[in-house]
Amino acid sequence: MYIDLLKLKCAYMKFNIIVLLLVGALLWSCTPKTTGPITKDTTSVPDKYNAENPVKLAVVISVDQMRYDYLERFGSLFTGGLKELSEKSTIYTQAYHEHSMTATAPGHATLSTGCYPMNHGIIGNNFYNQKTKRSIYGVSDPSVSLIGGAQAAPGVSPKNLKRNALGDHLKKASSKSKVFSVAIKDRTSILLGGKKPNHAFWFDNGSLKFISSSYYGRSLPSYIDEMKAMDLYADEIEKGWHKKLPDEAYKLSREDNFIFENGQFLPEFPHTKKRTAGFIRPEMKNTMIMRLTPLGDKYVLDMAQKIIQEEQLGKDDKTDILFVGCSNADAIGHHFGPMSQEVQDYYLWLDEYLETFIAYLDKTVGRANYVIGLSADHGVLTMPEELSKRNIDAKRISGKDFLDMITQAEKAAATQLGVADSLFLSAGSAGITPDYALTRKKGHKDAKVRQVIAEALEELDLVEEVFTLETLAAPNGQEMQELFRRSSYPERGHHIKMRYKENYLAGYSNNGTTHGSPYDYDQHVPILFFGGKIPAQKIDRKVATVDLAPTMARLIGLQPKEKMDGEVLLEAVMSQ
């Protein structure tokens, strides 16, 4: 992991020396990457769009929970789209998220805006609102309603996103450009698409089709009705999920039957509607197949093709953008873990699905006319039980045990402050907010209360370090402090945050696994760029996920005026 990076703006491609001299002053600065608040513009000119740019379509693909090591671990088995992307792209082997709360919502907002959570405001999938004193969903919006869903549900929109996304910059500079987004998860599609896309779509569990929000319009396009999952994949849903390759191909992964896998499906292949846990209701089994197998992301990529076709993306001289979120990779990773045969098999199927998608782009848009950027919102922790077998210090802290530990710290702090035991107004794995009304009555200053609680929490076995509003107020040169600072936003989130020990799974579940830490296994993801004139090369230097948006912008001839934390990755753009 890293924070202060010396981003050497050195070109590794062979260019005409005259061109290098012309662009050198603009692009070859050797300054450290700034930490903390943004202190510089990514460009000194207003929003600008190069109408002469030959790129007609930009596609940003996020594979939820994709660790970088999957490309290397499974690479020898790829024969389709992932093979082509790995071999014919500019790929960065040392790309990291540079914030501590590595989760779906902040990860996708970071990819789309080129900013850290401290600037775009999406610090978690859910976050505690200090004004309302309650936790809210990151994309919740009571002022809007869902369109097309089987049942009424709370409204969602990008209302909580505080920075413009890549698509917003394009729309400001080129009003005739089109921006669309699609994913299984609502927060993925919404936060990738930004504030003003033409539309964003996501999957509805009840109707088994794509839906949207009234934020984007009063109705859905007519082609949505042509994309009902039960009409398109009835046979696949009935068949279920079977291994793509013979058993011997899965020696790269652990045994198929692993007791700590989540319990919705039976642990070993095949995963079918008949091989589900007894608590799964019959009417939910079709949904399970669409949400917890590779088929769901095939559906997303098929929908992406449908959007390109129906909306005529990439058909004129104005660049369009399509955001695609492959969300089921996350559900499968949570359920089975990164070392499972299921995760390996998912990527073998994704390899096939992406081959079909790339072939469609080649045929309808032309490879010279499109660019793809691919990354991930976060990685995932290998199950602690697997790590323990390798003599690695790792532990699963059950929800009950975690609650007991937090209660122990609460009582210790309350005793020291001379207040009742119910000292915590809100507490969970994401952090703690004290009941200031209680402590102020005793004459305690808020900063002292936070310090006392932090000291009590640091006595817990699973806690490595504790941060408060005071310790996160300004950069102090410490890597972990900066990661947590970048996951903080005024009035959002808890006033006290804990860094757990590496490989410790705190308060999650008795099976499965998750993410959300500042460690490499959650931060290290792929970043690659493909298509157009982008060269095939592997770049082994540290870069950040905030760099994806400014690099995609440069690839399509766009120069946003608004500040970003990220920088243009020169190796990918110098030929474009």
Give tens-digit pLDDT for 437-449: 999 999 999 999 9
Give tens-digit pLDDT for 152-161: 889 999 999 9
Mean pLDDT of all residues in 81-107:
98
User: Which residue type, as a one-letter code, is found at position 97?
Assistant: H
Q: What does the pLDDT read at residue 24?
A: 36
The band of 512, judged by pLDDT with boundaries at 50, 70 and 90, is very high
With beta carbons less than 8 A apart as the criterion, state whether 202 and 186 touch: yes
Which of 146 and 14 is assigned the larger pLDDT? 146
Instruction: With residue 349 as reference, give the H or E element that holds it.
Output: helix 341-364
The band of 488, judged by pLDDT with boundaries at 50, 70 and 90, is very high
* pTM for the model: 0.91
255-269, 380-394, 406-420: segment of lowest average pLDDT:
255-269
Look at residue 73 and tell me whether its pLDDT is greater than 70. yes
- Mean pLDDT of the residues in the chain: 91
CA distance 342 to 361: 28
- The first and second tokens of residue 409, run together, are 């710290």
Look at residue 1 and tell me whether its pLDDT is greater than 50. no
Mean pLDDT of all residues in 56-60:
98
Question: Residue for token digits 């005409």?
Answer: 16
Mean pLDDT of all residues in 382-400:
96
Q: What does the pLDDT read at residue 9?
A: 34
The band of 262, judged by pLDDT with boundaries at 50, 70 and 90, is confident
Q: What does the pLDDT read at residue 323?
A: 99
Q: What does the pLDDT read at residue 18?
A: 28
Contacts with 480 (C-beta within 8 Å, 6 or more apart), sequence order: 100, 465, 499, 518
The band of 548, judged by pLDDT with boundaries at 50, 70 and 90, is very high
- The first and second tokens of residue 563, run together, are 């500040």
The rounded percent of the chain whose pLDDT value lies above 70 is: 91
- Residue 404 CB neighbour total at 10 angstroms: 11
Q: What does the pLDDT read at residue 40?
A: 30
Look at residue 319 and tell me whether its pLDDT is greater than 80. yes
